[in-house]
Structures are given as C-alpha cells and as structure tokens.
Amino acid sequence: IYNKVDPSIPLFVFVVSIISFLLFIFYKIINNNIRNHDVGNTPNRQGIELYSKEFGDDYFSFSLSGVKFLVLNSQIYSDPSQCLDLFDEQNSWLENQLIEANKQGYKHIIIFQHIPWFITAPNDADQYFTIPLTRRIPMLQLFRKYNVIFLILFDENVKRK
C-alpha cells in the first residue's frame, strides 16, 4: 500500500493513519458485537430490533486489504427458540458471505462474535458459556469448508483452565 501513497506524505503520518483506521474498525466491532446483556440469553425479534435501532445491524461484514471480516450475532446461535426466522436469515446471509468471499479470492476470513463455539475442543459438552453442539458442529463444518482462519470472541467470562 505504502508505495501507492504520495511520497510527500511522511511514513509516520501514513502509519498513524492506518493505526487510527484499524482502531476505529475494532471499536466498531466491539461496540456493535451483540451480547447476552443486550438481548438476553434467549433473544427475540423485539429485543433484536430494539438493539438494531439503537446500535446498528446485529450482524455485518466488511473487508480490508484482502481480508473479509464477519461480525455475528452469536446470541441467536446460543438459543434461537424465540427468533427462528432471524436465525435462518443470519445463517443464509453468513453462508452467502462465505461463498462470495471464496469466489472473490479473499486471502483470509475472520469471524467476530460474543459467545464461543467451544472452550477446549469442538466436541465439548454443552455448557452455559458455549453454543450447543446441535448448532456448533454444523457451523464449525461450514467454517472449515470455507476456510475461516480465525474466530475472535468477546466474552470476557470464559477462561481456559
């Protein structure tokens, strides 16, 4: 990128600009990453619509320098019982995003979410802090199929032993 920048712009200004941009992106991800404190452990349409009205989309994507970033509403994966239509909608969107990212040749795909899929291994028993196996395994298979390289989580309650 730097070799395409006007040579009169000092390297320091360029680096500070890039760092500022990345900090802005991560601020947006962290603040728009929907959590159980936002919509409850069993989300419903009304709660998600309220969240979206106040903070923006509950899931979204963006790309930067050949990397596709997907931010998921993981609360829906934890317990979709009160919003099955939104669960299906996000799953369809996600798979389409992954298909398009592969077609467009993105170097990497990174997913951000709140609730972890598992703590120590994909086949971990169900527990409060993870997404249930019935939804976890198919999603992890989907991620593997489309070469997702990182899953970045924002649940500070989870600690490995």
The pTM score is 0.74
C-alpha Rg value of the chain to the nearest Å:
18
Phi-psi region of 34 (alpha: psi -120 to 50; beta: other; left: phi over 0): beta
pLDDT of residue 100: 97
Half-sphere exposure of 26 toward its Cβ, with a 13 Å CA cutoff?
A: 9
Burial class (CB in 10 A: 0-12, 13-18, 19+), 1: exposed
pLDDT of residue 133: 96
Question: Which residues on adjacent β-strands are paired with residue 148?
Answer: 109
Distance CA 30, CA 32 (A): 6
pLDDT of residue 64: 83
Instruction: Determine which helix (DSSP H) or strand (DSSP E) holds 149, and give its type and residue range.
Output: strand 148-153
pLDDT of residue 7: 55
Structural tokens at position 78: 């934890």
> What DSSP line would sit under 41-103, residue for residue?
SS--HHHHHHHHHHH--SSEEEEETTEEEEE--HHHHH--TT-HHHHHHHHHHHHHHHHHHHH
Averaged pLDDT in 10-residue chunks for the chain of 161 residues: 51 49 55 52 87 85 88 91 96 98 93 86 90 95 91 59 49
pLDDT of residue 36: 46
